[in-house]
Amino acid sequence: RWLRQPERAAVVTLAMAAGPPPPPLEPSPLPTFTEEGFTEKFLRKTRENPLVPLGCLTTVGVLAYGIICFQKGYTRRSQLMMRARVLAQGFTIVALVGGMVATAVKSRQ
């Protein structure tokens, strides 16, 4: 309603045009990424969250020992190792989620 009056619209337009011109737009440089092989990426991820590979190794170790006990006929120990495997897998999942949360929090800062 206020801008519908022609003399006021001209004042607003002139006031906007009287300011300094905006700086010219310059293209920003593109980020550069280095090629990272499997070994470098594995080592970097292990340094960032060392509990995940530890949990994976523990899970595989407990599973292998449980299978060996099963083959030898030690049923009680085999069942105990299968329960321990589930615990080790749970630890690995918690470590994975914890590492993801820590990375997300660190990237926000």
Q: What is the pLDDT along the chain (109 residues), one digit of tens a residue?
A: 555 555 555 555 555 555 666 677 777 787 777 888 899 988 988 888 889 999 999 999 999 999 999 999 999 999 999 999 999 999 999 999 998 898 888 888 7
Q: Judge whether 81 lies within some domain.
A: yes
Q: Judge whether 17 lies within some domain.
A: no
Question: CA-CA-CA-CA torsion for 40, 45, 50, 53, nearest 10 degrees?
Answer: -80
Quote the domain boundaries for residue 71: 48-104
Could you give the number of structural domains in the chain? 1
Q: Judge whether 91 lies within some domain.
A: yes
Q: Judge whether 7 lies within some domain.
A: no
pLDDT of residue 16: 55
pLDDT of residue 45: 87
